Amino acid sequence: MGMKKSEKGSKKVMENKKNEKKDVGSAASNATMENDSVFASCSFSSLGLRPSLCDELREKLGFEVPTLVQAQAIPIILAGRHALINAATGTGKTVAYLAPLIHHLQNYDTCIQRSDGIFALVLVPTRELCLQVYEILQKLLHRFHWIVPGYVMGGENRSKEKARLRKGISILIATPGRLLDHLKNTSSFLYTKLRWIIFDEADRILELGFGQDIQEILHLLGSRKAANDNKESTVPRNSEFQRQNLLFSATLNEKVNHLAKISLHNPVMIGLEGKTRKPVSTIESIDPSEFDEEDEVKYSSKIPIAVDYKIPTQLIQRYVKVPCGSRLAVLLSILKHLFERDTSQKVVVFFSTCDAVDFHHSLLSEFHFSTDPQTKERVIQMFLGCQTFRLHGNMEHEDRRSTFQAFKTEKSALLLSTDVSARGLDFPKVRCIIQYDSPGEATEYVHRVGRTARLGERGESLLFLQPVEIDYLQDLEKHGVSLAEYPLLKVLDNFTLHGHNKQVKKSVFIDLHPWVLCLQKALESFIISKPKMDELARKGFCSWVRAYTAHRGELKRIFMIKKLHLGHVAKSFALKQQPSVVGQSFQKQNKKRKRFEKKNGLSKKRKVARVT
Ligand SMILES: Nc1ncnc2c1ncn2[C@@H]1O[C@H](COP(=O)(O)OP(=O)(O)OP(=O)(O)O)[C@@H](O)[C@H]1O
């Protein structure tokens, strides 16, 4: 390779670096930082990217101008700085890191070769995100055929991955577990020329419990420094370049702090306005030359964490308060309303467990409904006329892959998913996000709703809360997220029940609303008539209760299983009775709940509410 062999090559790299540093300032002045706009008023070439790459961005991805985060991050990354980048969901962070890598790799004097091994490593939390980044990379590298993209991830065939690594990959996208596996067991995996390590959705990687793996990966790659020390690991490596590590997420929390400390050297912060000692609202203020030794110590010892999360300003965020026993009927009603309002649209519903996804998926794929049970000639039709997909971590790898691709390309469809879809996935034209099971941490709320309203497009989100969970809104408020109430009764009143819709006085109580009662009855009859569905409902119920008890920290106070009536939870799975074989722990929880109700006089209140 050129720069390894020739002095001229390395001189050129140095010269390029100097020019890149100069470019930081000039690009900065071109990027207009308007708060409400997604795009910057400058061109990709003014950020310092090579013309051929700018052509590729335009021709292969259709990107004419950079987004704001791209305008901020690209010059910094081109300048070789470590960076921590925080920007709202759907604002173009992927290309913000891919473009500078490709710029550098196409810039080398002599073309890089497969035998050089990897130059850049992108770590992502999920398989779907791995594939998504790989696809974008493939498109961007179309004309730069000598730069080889590749991926390794859980679920794939190890030997095939080994073979691909042996042949050589220049930019590798990986999930942490599988990467560590190859680092330890694939002798032909060459990473002596590794120059960039990028953590996409850094906080999620850590939340998924990959912290230990990441430390080991950084250590094996020779890119880890001790937490209290700015020196990098002494693991030998053969690289003419300085390492450059980058951390990206729409939500940076305390967990990222340690990772930043051990992996970033004198980082530039982007998108943490007001939280850093030096404001970073303009690029000029983060000119690398401004950083001194004192900054370095401060920045590396404590990364400022944004308290307020960035949510697309055009997103309409609402919550709906639903009594536990009516949750299922209300979910189905809202979905029906959405797909009748707009027959061509995409909606994602988030659940807390894989079993809950399976149950609701089977139900929605099979449930028929007639609003007129009296007439002889009943018109029985599918309750929802749209195509329904499911996605979760317990699915077969290939099913997961095909669902992900199919939902991407569909024009109108419903996706039922666990949080495996919450991070980074870019499904075009998703119009509405429903969080049927609450997300727990506010960060997850932000990422789930971030699957809509991407890149300035419109979108709406709806959070289901039970009356006893309503304090969760305050938790979101603490992060600057406020939600308006969804007009549920108005939506329910619009459904017609043949035979008695005009006469029936509409109820102000959701659980006594005639439409809800009728639908709930039909759902329960449907489940009872299908043993397979009944089994799925029971499994869904059990895993839901387990997940509910797993809320952590502060949230335990809000999501308390003992505040719930398990019979009502069973109703939300269209089960007439609470499953009897639910294990000792649930029975214990039930007793606890009863004691709690007795102590707080809740059971009386409940009875009163039912009478009214
Ligand atoms: N400069 C651009 N011009 C037009 N479209 C763009 C541009 N940059 C990115 N996009 C598009 O914007 C969408 C969001 O981009 P991307 O997935 O990179 O966002 P993100 O910030 O990483 O989101 P998340 O936080 O959810 O991971 C994608 O569909 C992408 O193709």
Q: What is the pLDDT of residue 8?
A: 38
Residue 66 has pLDDT above 80, yes or no: yes
pLDDT at 312: 92
| Percentage of the chain modeled with pLDDT above 90 | 63
271 in ligand 1 pocket by Cβ < 6 Å? no
Mean pLDDT over 7-12 rounds to: 38
pLDDT of residue 452: 97
Are residues 354 and 396 in contact, defined by beta-carbon separation less than 8 angstroms?
A: no
DSSP-derived secondary structure for 483-529: -EEP-HHHHHHTS--TTTTTTSPPPSSGGG-HHHHHHHHHHHHHHHH
What separation in Å is there between the alpha carbon of 455 and the centre of ligand 1? 6
CA–CA distance, 497 with 133 (Å, rounded to integer): 48
- Choosing from 98, 126, 408, 454 the residue with most ligand 1 atoms within 8 A of its CB, the one to mutate for a pocket test is 454
Closest ligand 1 atom to 62 CA = 4
Distance 504 CA to ligand 1 centre (A): 49
Ligand 1 in reach of 67 Cβ (< 6 A): yes
Residue-level pLDDT at 470? 96
| Pocket lining: 543 vs ligand 1, CB cutoff 6 Å | no
In this predicted model, what pLDDT tens digit does every residue of 537-578 receive, in sequence order?
999 999 999 999 998 888 989 999 889 999 999 999 999 988
Q: Is the pLDDT of residue 605 over 50?
A: no
Query: Which residue has the CA at smallest separation from atom 10 of ligand 1?
Result: 92
Answer yes or no: is the C-beta of 108 below 6 A from any ligand 1 atom: no
What pLDDT, in 10s, does the model give residues 24-35?
333 333 333 334
Closest CA to 254 of 557, 553, 454, 549: 553
- Which of 60, 72, 74, 91 has most ligand 1 atoms within 8 Å of CB, for mutation? 91
Indicate whether residue 438 lines ligand 1 (CB < 6 A).
no
Q: Are strands 346-350 and 430-435 parallel, antiparallel or unpaired?
A: parallel
- 601 versus 41: which is more confidently predicted? 41
Tell me, what's the pLDDT at 580?
61
Average pLDDT over residues 330-341: 95
Ligand 1 close to Cβ of residue 424 (< 6 A):
yes
> From start to end of 351-405, where are the E strands?
368-369, 381-382, 388-391
94 lines ligand 1 (CB under 6 A): yes
* Residue 200 CA to ligand 1 centre (angstroms): 13
Decide which of 17 and 408 is more confident.
Answer: 408
Ligand 1 atom at shortest distance from the alpha carbon of 44? 1
Phi, psi for 154 (deg, rounded to 5)? -55, 145
Residue 351 CA to residue 560 CA, distance in Å, equals 18
Tens digits of residue pLDDT in 201-235: 988 898 888 888 999 999 999 865 544 444 444 33
Residue 69 CA: which ligand 1 atom is closest?
21
User: Measured in angstroms, how far is the CA atom of residue 362 from the centroid of ligand 1?
Assistant: 32
Does 527 have pLDDT greater than 80?
Answer: yes
pLDDT band at 111 (very low <50, low <70, confident <90, very high): confident
Find out whether the beta carbon of 304 lies less than 6 Å from any atom of ligand 1.
no
- How far apart (Å, rounded) are the C-alpha atoms in residues 95 and 62? 12
From 46, 70, 94, 135, give the residue whose CB has the most ligand 1 atoms within 8 Å, as the site to mutate.
94
Lowest mean pLDDT segment, chosen from 83-87, 137-141, 261-265, 293-297: 293-297
Tell me the pLDDT band of 297, cut-offs 50, 70 and 90: very low
Calculate Rg over the CA atoms of the chain. Answer: 27
Higher pLDDT: 602 or 52? It is 52
Element (H, E) at 340: helix 327-341
- In tens, the pLDDT along 348-359 reads 999 999 999 999
How many Cβ atoms are within 10 Å of 4's Cβ, its own excluded?
14
For residue 424, the CA-to-ligand 1 centroid distance in Å is 9
Q: Can you give the pTM of this predicted structure?
A: 0.82
pLDDT attached to residue 432: 97
CA distance linking residue 231 with residue 266, whole number of Å: 11
pLDDT tens readout for residues 457-509: 999 999 999 999 999 999 999 989 999 999 999 999 998 876 554 545 566 78
- Answer yes or no: are the C-beta atoms of 108 and 9 closer than 8 Å: yes
Per-residue pLDDT tens for 404-430? 999 999 999 999 999 999 999 999 999
Q: Which helix (H) or strand (E) holds 366?
A: helix 354-366
Region 71-77: mean pLDDT is 97
Atom of ligand 1 nearest to the CA of 89: 25
Do the beta carbons of residue 224 and residue 203 sit within 8 Å? Answer: no
Is it the case that residue 281 has pLDDT exceeding 50? no
Out of 49, 67, 70, 430, give the residue to mutate to test ligand 1, the one with the largest number of ligand atoms within 8 Å of its CB. Answer: 67
Residue with the nearest Cα to atom 14 of ligand 1? 90
206's tokens: 């850590």
Percentage with pLDDT > 70 across the chain = 76
pLDDT at 230: 47
The two tokens of residue 29 are 């002045």
Asked if residue 283 has pLDDT above 80, the reply is no
Q: Report the mean per-residue pLDDT for the chain.
A: 82
303 pLDDT more than 90: no
Name the band, by pLDDT with cuts 50, 70 and 90, for residue 178.
very high
Query: ipTM, 2 decimals?
Result: 0.99
In this prediction, residues 88-106 reach a mean pLDDT of 96
Instruction: Say yes or no: CB of residue 168 within 6 Å of ligand 1.
Output: no
Give SS3 for 479. coil
